[in-house]
Amino acid sequence: MTFTSPVLSYALLSPVLILLGGALIGVLVEAFVSKALRPVVQLTLSLGTLMLALMQVWRIRGEESLTPAMGSLVIDGPAVLIQGSILIIAIISIFLIADTEHFTPLPAALPGSAEEREAEQAGNQVTEVYPLTLFAVSGMMIFPIATDLIMLFVALEVLSLPLYLMAGLSRRRRLASQESALKYFLLGSFASAFFLFGAAYLYGFSGSITFSGIQAAVVGGTGNDVLLLIGMSFLSIGLLFKVGAVPFHSWTPDVYQGAPTPITAFMAAATKVAAFGAMLRIYYTVFANAEWSWIPVISAIAIISMVLGSLVAIAQRDVKRMLAYSSIAHAGFLLSGIIALNKSGLDATIFYLFAYGIATVGGFAVVTLVRDSSGEVTDLNRWKGLGKRSPFAASAFALFLLAFAGIPLTSGFIGKFSIFSAAYENGATAVVITGVLSSAIAAFFYIRVIVLMFFTDAVEDGTAVEVPSILTRATVVISAVITLVLGIYPAPVLDFITDLAIFIR
Protein backbone atom coordinates (compact mmCIF):
# COMPACT_ATOMS: atom_id res chain seq x y z
CA MET A 1 0.00 0.00 0.00
CA THR A 2 1.39 3.34 -0.95
CA PHE A 3 0.42 6.77 0.24
CA THR A 4 0.66 9.80 -1.98
CA SER A 5 1.20 12.94 -0.01
CA PRO A 6 -1.67 15.39 -0.48
CA VAL A 7 -1.07 18.46 -2.59
CA LEU A 8 -2.52 21.55 -0.96
CA SER A 9 -2.77 25.07 -2.37
CA TYR A 10 -1.97 26.89 0.82
CA ALA A 11 -2.59 30.31 -0.63
CA LEU A 12 -6.13 29.48 -1.61
CA LEU A 13 -6.84 27.77 1.68
CA SER A 14 -5.18 30.45 3.76
CA PRO A 15 -8.38 32.14 5.00
CA VAL A 16 -9.61 28.90 6.53
CA LEU A 17 -6.18 27.97 7.85
CA ILE A 18 -5.71 31.39 9.44
CA LEU A 19 -9.06 31.06 11.20
CA LEU A 20 -8.32 27.58 12.53
CA GLY A 21 -4.90 28.71 13.67
CA GLY A 22 -6.35 31.76 15.38
CA ALA A 23 -8.91 29.57 17.13
CA LEU A 24 -6.22 27.19 18.39
CA ILE A 25 -4.11 30.08 19.68
CA GLY A 26 -7.26 31.31 21.38
CA VAL A 27 -7.51 28.02 23.25
CA LEU A 28 -3.89 28.40 24.34
CA VAL A 29 -4.59 31.93 25.49
CA GLU A 30 -7.32 30.56 27.74
CA ALA A 31 -4.76 28.26 29.31
CA PHE A 32 -1.79 30.54 29.70
CA VAL A 33 -2.77 34.20 29.83
CA SER A 34 -3.82 35.75 33.13
CA LYS A 35 -7.48 36.33 33.78
CA ALA A 36 -7.24 40.09 33.73
CA LEU A 37 -5.55 40.23 30.34
CA ARG A 38 -7.63 37.58 28.64
CA PRO A 39 -10.56 39.71 27.40
CA VAL A 40 -8.30 42.21 25.67
CA VAL A 41 -5.96 39.60 24.25
CA GLN A 42 -8.79 37.42 22.99
CA LEU A 43 -10.64 40.31 21.39
CA THR A 44 -7.50 41.54 19.66
CA LEU A 45 -6.59 38.05 18.56
CA SER A 46 -10.05 37.25 17.16
CA LEU A 47 -10.36 40.57 15.42
CA GLY A 48 -6.86 40.27 14.00
CA THR A 49 -7.52 36.73 12.79
CA LEU A 50 -10.78 37.70 11.12
CA MET A 51 -9.25 40.78 9.48
CA LEU A 52 -6.28 38.79 8.22
CA ALA A 53 -8.59 36.11 6.82
CA LEU A 54 -10.66 38.79 5.12
CA MET A 55 -7.52 40.25 3.58
CA GLN A 56 -6.56 36.84 2.27
CA VAL A 57 -10.04 36.35 0.82
CA TRP A 58 -9.68 39.71 -0.91
CA ARG A 59 -6.31 38.66 -2.31
CA ILE A 60 -7.56 35.38 -3.78
CA ARG A 61 -10.61 36.95 -5.41
CA GLY A 62 -10.82 36.05 -9.06
CA GLU A 63 -8.79 32.87 -8.63
CA GLU A 64 -10.33 29.55 -9.40
CA SER A 65 -9.27 26.06 -8.52
CA LEU A 66 -11.01 22.70 -8.41
CA THR A 67 -8.24 21.13 -6.41
CA PRO A 68 -7.03 23.37 -3.64
CA ALA A 69 -7.22 20.34 -1.35
CA MET A 70 -7.24 17.23 -3.49
CA GLY A 71 -10.74 17.77 -4.81
CA SER A 72 -12.42 18.04 -1.44
CA LEU A 73 -12.73 21.78 -1.62
CA VAL A 74 -13.15 24.32 -4.37
CA ILE A 75 -12.29 27.98 -4.68
CA ASP A 76 -14.24 30.06 -7.15
CA GLY A 77 -16.08 33.38 -7.37
CA PRO A 78 -19.14 32.47 -5.29
CA ALA A 79 -16.86 30.87 -2.69
CA VAL A 80 -14.91 34.10 -2.29
CA LEU A 81 -18.08 36.19 -2.10
CA ILE A 82 -19.73 33.97 0.50
CA GLN A 83 -16.54 33.70 2.57
CA GLY A 84 -16.08 37.46 2.43
CA SER A 85 -19.66 38.04 3.56
CA ILE A 86 -19.26 35.62 6.46
CA LEU A 87 -16.06 37.33 7.58
CA ILE A 88 -17.51 40.84 7.41
CA ILE A 89 -20.54 39.71 9.40
CA ALA A 90 -18.28 37.96 11.91
CA ILE A 91 -16.18 41.09 12.34
CA ILE A 92 -19.10 43.33 13.18
CA SER A 93 -20.60 40.60 15.39
CA ILE A 94 -17.39 40.23 17.39
CA PHE A 95 -17.82 43.84 18.55
CA LEU A 96 -21.13 42.81 20.09
CA ILE A 97 -19.72 39.65 21.60
CA ALA A 98 -17.08 41.80 23.28
CA ASP A 99 -19.76 43.24 25.56
CA THR A 100 -19.42 40.80 28.45
CA GLU A 101 -22.64 41.99 30.05
CA HIS A 102 -24.43 39.36 27.99
CA PHE A 103 -22.52 36.30 29.11
CA THR A 104 -22.65 34.28 32.27
CA PRO A 105 -19.50 34.47 34.39
CA LEU A 106 -19.40 30.69 34.94
CA PRO A 107 -21.26 28.53 32.43
CA ALA A 108 -20.70 25.36 34.43
CA ALA A 109 -22.40 26.63 37.58
CA LEU A 110 -26.07 25.94 38.25
CA PRO A 111 -28.23 28.98 37.67
CA GLY A 112 -28.73 30.87 40.92
CA SER A 113 -26.10 28.86 42.79
CA ALA A 114 -23.46 30.14 45.19
CA GLU A 115 -20.67 29.38 42.74
CA GLU A 116 -22.32 31.56 40.16
CA ARG A 117 -22.52 34.46 42.60
CA GLU A 118 -18.88 34.04 43.57
CA ALA A 119 -17.78 33.98 39.97
CA GLU A 120 -19.82 37.08 39.33
CA GLN A 121 -18.27 38.91 42.24
CA ALA A 122 -14.82 37.83 41.14
CA GLY A 123 -15.54 39.41 37.77
CA ASN A 124 -15.06 36.24 35.76
CA GLN A 125 -15.68 36.38 32.05
CA VAL A 126 -16.25 33.59 29.56
CA THR A 127 -13.55 34.55 27.11
CA GLU A 128 -13.87 31.04 25.67
CA VAL A 129 -16.56 32.50 23.51
CA TYR A 130 -13.92 34.04 21.20
CA PRO A 131 -12.19 30.79 20.13
CA LEU A 132 -15.63 29.17 19.89
CA THR A 133 -16.67 31.92 17.50
CA LEU A 134 -13.55 31.42 15.42
CA PHE A 135 -14.16 27.68 15.20
CA ALA A 136 -17.73 28.30 14.13
CA VAL A 137 -16.54 30.79 11.52
CA SER A 138 -14.03 28.29 10.13
CA GLY A 139 -16.80 25.71 9.80
CA MET A 140 -18.92 28.27 8.03
CA MET A 141 -16.04 29.09 5.69
CA ILE A 142 -15.57 25.43 4.71
CA PHE A 143 -19.29 24.66 4.36
CA PRO A 144 -19.89 26.57 1.12
CA ILE A 145 -16.65 25.44 -0.52
CA ALA A 146 -16.87 21.73 0.30
CA THR A 147 -17.16 19.51 -2.75
CA ASP A 148 -17.60 16.13 -1.21
CA LEU A 149 -20.16 14.85 1.21
CA ILE A 150 -17.73 13.98 4.02
CA MET A 151 -16.17 17.44 3.96
CA LEU A 152 -19.63 18.96 3.88
CA PHE A 153 -20.66 16.98 6.93
CA VAL A 154 -17.48 17.81 8.84
CA ALA A 155 -17.96 21.49 8.09
CA LEU A 156 -21.57 21.30 9.21
CA GLU A 157 -20.54 19.86 12.55
CA VAL A 158 -17.63 22.25 13.00
CA LEU A 159 -19.92 25.20 12.54
CA SER A 160 -22.76 23.75 14.61
CA LEU A 161 -21.08 22.45 17.75
CA PRO A 162 -19.66 25.79 18.95
CA LEU A 163 -23.03 27.41 18.28
CA TYR A 164 -24.82 24.87 20.47
CA LEU A 165 -22.48 25.80 23.29
CA MET A 166 -22.61 29.52 22.74
CA ALA A 167 -26.41 29.53 22.80
CA GLY A 168 -26.30 28.46 26.44
CA LEU A 169 -24.05 31.20 27.74
CA SER A 170 -26.60 33.89 28.55
CA ARG A 171 -26.14 35.83 31.81
CA ARG A 172 -29.81 36.59 32.34
CA ARG A 173 -32.60 34.02 32.22
CA ARG A 174 -29.98 31.31 32.23
CA LEU A 175 -32.43 28.43 32.40
CA ALA A 176 -34.14 29.55 29.22
CA SER A 177 -30.74 29.94 27.62
CA GLN A 178 -29.60 26.45 28.61
CA GLU A 179 -32.93 25.02 27.53
CA SER A 180 -32.55 26.62 24.13
CA ALA A 181 -29.00 25.32 23.79
CA LEU A 182 -30.14 21.79 24.56
CA LYS A 183 -33.04 22.06 22.12
CA TYR A 184 -30.76 23.37 19.45
CA PHE A 185 -28.35 20.53 20.09
CA LEU A 186 -30.98 17.78 20.08
CA LEU A 187 -32.80 19.02 17.03
CA GLY A 188 -29.54 19.85 15.30
CA SER A 189 -28.33 16.29 15.86
CA PHE A 190 -31.63 15.01 14.54
CA ALA A 191 -31.18 17.09 11.39
CA SER A 192 -27.54 16.02 11.07
CA ALA A 193 -28.67 12.41 11.20
CA PHE A 194 -31.02 13.06 8.28
CA PHE A 195 -28.16 14.76 6.49
CA LEU A 196 -25.79 11.85 7.00
CA PHE A 197 -28.48 9.35 6.01
CA GLY A 198 -29.07 11.34 2.84
CA ALA A 199 -25.34 11.32 2.11
CA ALA A 200 -25.35 7.53 2.43
CA TYR A 201 -28.22 7.21 -0.04
CA LEU A 202 -26.46 9.50 -2.48
CA TYR A 203 -23.39 7.30 -2.26
CA GLY A 204 -25.63 4.34 -2.87
CA PHE A 205 -27.07 6.08 -5.88
CA SER A 206 -23.85 7.22 -7.47
CA GLY A 207 -21.09 5.21 -5.93
CA SER A 208 -19.27 8.43 -5.23
CA ILE A 209 -19.04 10.92 -2.42
CA THR A 210 -17.74 13.80 -4.53
CA PHE A 211 -20.06 16.39 -5.97
CA SER A 212 -18.68 15.83 -9.45
CA GLY A 213 -19.28 12.09 -9.17
CA ILE A 214 -22.85 12.54 -8.00
CA GLN A 215 -23.47 15.14 -10.66
CA ALA A 216 -22.19 12.81 -13.34
CA ALA A 217 -24.53 10.13 -12.05
CA VAL A 218 -27.47 12.57 -12.05
CA VAL A 219 -26.70 13.55 -15.63
CA GLY A 220 -26.05 10.02 -16.86
CA GLY A 221 -28.65 8.30 -14.74
CA THR A 222 -28.03 5.03 -12.90
CA GLY A 223 -31.50 3.65 -13.29
CA ASN A 224 -32.21 3.95 -9.60
CA ASP A 225 -33.83 7.32 -9.06
CA VAL A 226 -35.41 6.28 -5.75
CA LEU A 227 -32.03 6.39 -4.05
CA LEU A 228 -31.35 9.79 -5.57
CA LEU A 229 -34.68 11.19 -4.51
CA ILE A 230 -34.44 9.95 -0.94
CA GLY A 231 -30.83 11.05 -0.68
CA MET A 232 -31.61 14.46 -2.07
CA SER A 233 -34.57 14.89 0.28
CA PHE A 234 -32.66 13.92 3.38
CA LEU A 235 -29.66 16.06 2.48
CA SER A 236 -32.02 18.97 1.89
CA ILE A 237 -33.61 18.47 5.31
CA GLY A 238 -30.24 18.95 6.96
CA LEU A 239 -29.64 22.13 5.01
CA LEU A 240 -33.17 23.49 5.37
CA PHE A 241 -32.91 22.95 9.12
CA LYS A 242 -29.84 25.15 9.26
CA VAL A 243 -31.51 27.98 7.36
CA GLY A 244 -34.68 27.65 9.39
CA ALA A 245 -37.16 26.96 6.61
CA VAL A 246 -40.62 25.63 7.42
CA PRO A 247 -41.29 22.86 8.51
CA PHE A 248 -37.75 22.54 9.91
CA HIS A 249 -37.88 25.91 11.62
CA SER A 250 -39.30 25.08 15.02
CA TRP A 251 -36.02 25.57 16.87
CA THR A 252 -35.55 29.10 15.54
CA PRO A 253 -37.82 31.20 17.79
CA ASP A 254 -36.81 29.42 20.98
CA VAL A 255 -33.10 29.51 20.27
CA TYR A 256 -33.08 33.09 18.99
CA GLN A 257 -34.91 34.15 22.12
CA GLY A 258 -32.90 32.07 24.58
CA ALA A 259 -29.39 32.64 23.27
CA PRO A 260 -27.39 35.70 24.36
CA THR A 261 -28.34 38.42 21.87
CA PRO A 262 -24.83 38.88 20.37
CA ILE A 263 -24.75 35.15 19.66
CA THR A 264 -28.22 35.32 18.13
CA ALA A 265 -27.00 38.13 15.90
CA PHE A 266 -23.95 36.18 14.78
CA MET A 267 -25.82 32.92 14.37
CA ALA A 268 -28.80 34.39 12.54
CA ALA A 269 -26.65 36.25 10.06
CA ALA A 270 -23.56 34.10 9.49
CA THR A 271 -25.17 30.63 9.61
CA LYS A 272 -27.70 31.68 7.02
CA VAL A 273 -24.99 32.94 4.69
CA ALA A 274 -22.95 29.76 5.08
CA ALA A 275 -25.87 27.37 4.70
CA PHE A 276 -27.30 29.19 1.70
CA GLY A 277 -23.82 29.33 0.23
CA ALA A 278 -23.65 25.54 0.42
CA MET A 279 -27.21 25.18 -0.89
CA LEU A 280 -26.43 27.39 -3.85
CA ARG A 281 -23.47 25.21 -4.79
CA ILE A 282 -25.34 21.95 -4.31
CA TYR A 283 -28.53 22.91 -6.13
CA TYR A 284 -26.86 24.94 -8.85
CA THR A 285 -24.29 22.28 -9.70
CA VAL A 286 -24.92 18.80 -8.26
CA PHE A 287 -28.70 18.62 -8.52
CA ALA A 288 -29.14 21.12 -11.35
CA ASN A 289 -30.03 18.43 -13.84
CA ALA A 290 -32.66 16.91 -11.58
CA GLU A 291 -34.44 20.21 -11.20
CA TRP A 292 -37.78 18.76 -12.36
CA SER A 293 -37.95 16.84 -9.11
CA TRP A 294 -36.89 19.37 -6.52
CA ILE A 295 -38.03 22.76 -7.83
CA PRO A 296 -41.74 22.18 -7.08
CA VAL A 297 -40.95 20.94 -3.58
CA ILE A 298 -38.51 23.71 -2.71
CA SER A 299 -41.04 26.18 -4.14
CA ALA A 300 -43.66 24.82 -1.77
CA ILE A 301 -41.25 25.13 1.16
CA ALA A 302 -40.38 28.68 0.11
CA ILE A 303 -44.05 29.61 -0.04
CA ILE A 304 -45.00 28.18 3.34
CA SER A 305 -41.87 29.67 4.93
CA MET A 306 -42.71 33.14 3.65
CA VAL A 307 -46.37 32.91 4.62
CA LEU A 308 -45.92 31.27 8.00
CA GLY A 309 -42.97 33.43 8.98
CA SER A 310 -44.81 36.62 8.11
CA LEU A 311 -48.13 35.62 9.67
CA VAL A 312 -46.78 34.34 12.95
CA ALA A 313 -44.46 37.31 13.33
CA ILE A 314 -47.55 39.53 13.60
CA ALA A 315 -48.66 37.74 16.74
CA GLN A 316 -45.32 38.09 18.53
CA ARG A 317 -44.92 40.26 21.61
CA ASP A 318 -41.19 39.69 21.97
CA VAL A 319 -38.78 41.50 19.72
CA LYS A 320 -36.31 38.61 19.46
CA ARG A 321 -39.03 36.13 18.58
CA MET A 322 -40.40 38.58 16.07
CA LEU A 323 -37.01 38.80 14.41
CA ALA A 324 -36.79 34.99 14.52
CA TYR A 325 -40.02 34.61 12.58
CA SER A 326 -38.91 37.32 10.24
CA SER A 327 -35.77 35.27 9.59
CA ILE A 328 -37.98 32.29 8.74
CA ALA A 329 -39.80 34.44 6.22
CA HIS A 330 -36.47 35.61 4.85
CA ALA A 331 -35.38 31.98 4.46
CA GLY A 332 -38.40 31.65 2.19
CA PHE A 333 -37.42 34.76 0.20
CA LEU A 334 -33.90 33.39 -0.17
CA LEU A 335 -35.17 30.01 -1.34
CA SER A 336 -36.77 31.77 -4.29
CA GLY A 337 -33.21 32.61 -5.32
CA ILE A 338 -32.37 28.89 -5.27
CA ILE A 339 -35.43 28.13 -7.36
CA ALA A 340 -34.41 30.75 -9.90
CA LEU A 341 -31.53 28.47 -10.93
CA ASN A 342 -29.98 31.04 -13.25
CA LYS A 343 -27.12 33.50 -13.19
CA SER A 344 -29.23 36.41 -12.00
CA GLY A 345 -30.65 34.21 -9.25
CA LEU A 346 -27.14 33.41 -8.06
CA ASP A 347 -26.12 37.07 -8.06
CA ALA A 348 -29.30 38.13 -6.34
CA THR A 349 -29.08 35.48 -3.63
CA ILE A 350 -25.52 36.42 -2.76
CA PHE A 351 -26.43 40.10 -2.61
CA TYR A 352 -29.52 39.36 -0.54
CA LEU A 353 -27.52 37.18 1.88
CA PHE A 354 -24.99 39.91 2.50
CA ALA A 355 -27.57 42.67 2.83
CA TYR A 356 -29.80 40.62 5.10
CA GLY A 357 -26.91 39.42 7.25
CA ILE A 358 -25.67 42.95 7.86
CA ALA A 359 -29.13 44.27 8.69
CA THR A 360 -29.72 41.33 11.04
CA VAL A 361 -26.55 41.96 13.01
CA GLY A 362 -27.47 45.64 13.21
CA GLY A 363 -31.00 44.88 14.34
CA PHE A 364 -29.91 42.57 17.14
CA ALA A 365 -27.21 45.05 18.12
CA VAL A 366 -29.94 47.58 18.83
CA VAL A 367 -31.82 44.95 20.84
CA THR A 368 -28.80 44.61 23.12
CA LEU A 369 -29.04 48.29 23.96
CA VAL A 370 -32.56 48.37 25.34
CA ARG A 371 -32.28 47.30 28.95
CA ASP A 372 -33.62 47.74 32.43
CA SER A 373 -32.02 46.85 35.74
CA SER A 374 -32.46 43.10 35.14
CA GLY A 375 -31.05 42.95 31.62
CA GLU A 376 -32.40 43.29 28.13
CA VAL A 377 -36.00 44.29 27.59
CA THR A 378 -37.41 42.33 24.69
CA ASP A 379 -41.11 42.85 25.40
CA LEU A 380 -42.34 45.01 22.54
CA ASN A 381 -44.86 46.83 24.72
CA ARG A 382 -42.00 48.28 26.66
CA TRP A 383 -40.35 49.64 23.51
CA LYS A 384 -43.08 52.26 23.32
CA GLY A 385 -41.77 55.76 22.90
CA LEU A 386 -38.20 54.59 22.40
CA GLY A 387 -37.82 57.17 19.64
CA LYS A 388 -38.13 59.98 22.16
CA ARG A 389 -35.74 58.50 24.70
CA SER A 390 -33.11 57.37 22.29
CA PRO A 391 -33.39 58.68 18.76
CA PHE A 392 -30.10 56.98 17.81
CA ALA A 393 -31.17 53.47 18.73
CA ALA A 394 -34.73 53.87 17.51
CA SER A 395 -33.82 55.40 14.15
CA ALA A 396 -31.21 52.73 13.53
CA PHE A 397 -33.69 49.99 14.41
CA ALA A 398 -36.29 51.61 12.18
CA LEU A 399 -33.80 51.59 9.32
CA PHE A 400 -33.09 47.87 9.79
CA LEU A 401 -36.80 47.09 9.97
CA LEU A 402 -37.38 49.04 6.76
CA ALA A 403 -34.59 47.03 5.17
CA PHE A 404 -36.25 43.77 6.30
CA ALA A 405 -39.51 45.06 4.88
CA GLY A 406 -37.81 45.87 1.58
CA ILE A 407 -38.64 49.57 1.47
CA PRO A 408 -36.81 51.48 -1.29
CA LEU A 409 -33.55 53.23 -0.45
CA THR A 410 -32.55 50.34 1.81
CA SER A 411 -30.54 47.27 0.86
CA GLY A 412 -33.62 45.11 1.43
CA PHE A 413 -35.44 46.66 -1.50
CA ILE A 414 -32.66 45.98 -3.97
CA GLY A 415 -32.29 42.45 -2.59
CA LYS A 416 -35.99 41.59 -2.78
CA PHE A 417 -36.38 43.22 -6.14
CA SER A 418 -33.51 41.35 -7.72
CA ILE A 419 -34.24 37.99 -6.14
CA PHE A 420 -37.91 38.06 -7.11
CA SER A 421 -37.19 39.17 -10.64
CA ALA A 422 -34.68 36.34 -10.98
CA ALA A 423 -37.24 33.81 -9.74
CA TYR A 424 -39.81 35.30 -12.10
CA GLU A 425 -37.45 34.79 -15.04
CA ASN A 426 -37.44 31.08 -14.28
CA GLY A 427 -41.23 30.98 -14.27
CA ALA A 428 -41.71 30.72 -10.51
CA THR A 429 -44.72 33.03 -10.65
CA ALA A 430 -46.51 31.52 -7.66
CA VAL A 431 -43.45 31.97 -5.47
CA VAL A 432 -43.02 35.56 -6.58
CA ILE A 433 -46.65 36.47 -5.98
CA THR A 434 -46.61 34.86 -2.54
CA GLY A 435 -43.33 36.58 -1.86
CA VAL A 436 -44.68 40.01 -2.70
CA LEU A 437 -47.87 39.42 -0.72
CA SER A 438 -46.07 38.15 2.35
CA SER A 439 -43.65 41.06 2.07
CA ALA A 440 -46.71 43.26 2.38
CA ILE A 441 -47.88 41.36 5.46
CA ALA A 442 -44.38 41.53 6.86
CA ALA A 443 -44.18 45.25 6.23
CA PHE A 444 -47.24 45.57 8.44
CA PHE A 445 -45.54 44.24 11.54
CA TYR A 446 -42.26 45.99 10.91
CA ILE A 447 -44.03 49.28 10.55
CA ARG A 448 -46.10 48.56 13.61
CA VAL A 449 -42.89 48.42 15.62
CA ILE A 450 -41.77 51.72 14.11
CA VAL A 451 -45.11 53.28 15.04
CA LEU A 452 -44.72 51.86 18.52
CA MET A 453 -41.28 53.42 18.91
CA PHE A 454 -42.02 56.83 17.46
CA PHE A 455 -45.72 57.58 17.83
CA THR A 456 -46.70 55.99 21.11
CA ASP A 457 -46.20 57.59 24.47
CA ALA A 458 -43.56 56.02 26.60
CA VAL A 459 -44.39 54.11 29.75
CA GLU A 460 -42.16 54.88 32.70
CA ASP A 461 -41.06 51.46 33.87
CA GLY A 462 -37.33 51.81 34.08
CA THR A 463 -36.69 50.64 30.54
CA ALA A 464 -33.70 52.57 29.44
CA VAL A 465 -31.33 52.60 26.57
CA GLU A 466 -27.75 51.95 27.49
CA VAL A 467 -25.35 54.52 26.27
CA PRO A 468 -23.84 52.33 23.57
CA SER A 469 -20.23 51.32 24.09
CA ILE A 470 -17.90 52.31 21.28
CA LEU A 471 -17.85 48.73 19.98
CA THR A 472 -21.63 48.34 19.93
CA ARG A 473 -21.99 51.75 18.42
CA ALA A 474 -19.53 50.73 15.73
CA THR A 475 -21.63 47.65 14.94
CA VAL A 476 -24.81 49.69 14.66
CA VAL A 477 -23.25 52.48 12.62
CA ILE A 478 -21.39 50.16 10.22
CA SER A 479 -24.48 48.04 9.65
CA ALA A 480 -26.63 51.12 9.12
CA VAL A 481 -24.20 52.67 6.67
CA ILE A 482 -23.88 49.45 4.66
CA THR A 483 -27.66 49.03 4.65
CA LEU A 484 -28.15 52.55 3.34
CA VAL A 485 -25.33 52.50 0.83
CA LEU A 486 -26.50 49.19 -0.62
CA GLY A 487 -29.93 50.74 -0.95
CA ILE A 488 -28.90 54.01 -2.55
CA TYR A 489 -25.90 53.03 -4.59
CA PRO A 490 -25.78 49.24 -4.96
CA ALA A 491 -24.40 49.24 -8.50
CA PRO A 492 -20.69 48.64 -7.66
CA VAL A 493 -21.49 45.78 -5.31
CA LEU A 494 -23.97 44.27 -7.76
CA ASP A 495 -21.42 44.55 -10.55
CA PHE A 496 -18.71 43.04 -8.36
CA ILE A 497 -20.97 40.10 -7.55
CA THR A 498 -22.05 39.69 -11.17
CA ASP A 499 -18.43 39.60 -12.34
CA LEU A 500 -17.31 37.04 -9.77
CA ALA A 501 -20.26 34.76 -9.19
CA ILE A 502 -19.68 31.88 -11.56
CA PHE A 503 -19.51 28.33 -10.27
CA ILE A 504 -16.77 26.14 -11.65
CA ARG A 505 -17.39 22.44 -11.66
Which of 122, 219, 297, 459 contacts another protein by CB under 8 A? 297
Using rule CB under 8 A, residue 275 touches another protein: no
- Closest to another protein by CB, 154 vs 187, is 187
Terminal Cα-to-Cα distance of the chain (whole angstroms): 31
Q: Which residues are CB-neighbours of 248 under 8 A, at least 6 positions away?
A: 191, 237, 240, 241
Among 12, 301, 319, 338, binds another protein (CB under 8 A): 301
Q: How far is the CB of 483 from another protein (least distance, A)?
A: 16
Residues 241, 184: Cα–Cα separation, whole Å? 11
Contacts of 386 (CB under 8 A, 6+ apart): 370, 393, 394, 397, 452, 453, 458, 465
d(CA 330, CA 334): 6
Note whether 456 binds another protein by CB under 8 A: no
Query: Which of 8, 25, 33, 187 contacts another protein by CB under 8 A?
Result: 187
**For residue 188, what are the CA distances in angstroms to 133, 163, 193, 194, 373?**
18, 10, 9, 10, 34
Please report, as residue ranges, which positions from 85 to 124 form the binding site for another protein (by CB under 8 A). Answer: none
Q: Tell which positions 195-234 bind another protein, by CB under 8 A.
A: 225, 229-230, 232-234
Q: Which of 111, 247, 427, 462 binds another protein (CB under 8 A)?
A: 247
Q: Does 130 participate in binding another protein (rule CB under 8 A)?
A: no
Contact between 427 and another protein (CB under 8 A)?
no
Segment 333 to 362, residues that bind another protein, using CB under 8 A: 344, 348
- CA–CA distances in Å: residue 505 to residues 65, 76, 145, 288, 456: 9, 9, 12, 12, 55
The one among 73, 275, 312, 370 contacting another protein by CB under 8 A: 312
CB 382 within 8 A of CB 113: no
Q: Are 331 and 243 in contact (CB under 8 A)?
A: yes
Question: Of the candidates 181, 175, 178, 294, which has an alpha carbon nearest to the alpha carbon of residue 230?
Answer: 294
Q: For residues 180 and 187, is the Cβ–Cβ distance under 8 A?
A: no
Binding window for another protein (CB under 8 A); candidates: 50-58, 152-160, 235-243, 329-337: 235-243
Binding to another protein by residue 256, rule CB under 8 A? no
Residues near another protein (CB under 8 A) are 182-183, 186-187, 190-191, 194, 225, 229-230, 232-234, 236-237, 241, 246-248, 250-251, 253-254, 292-294, 296-297, 300-301, 308, 311-316, 344, 348, 408-409, 414, 417-418, 421-422, 425, 441, 444, 455, 488-491, 494-495
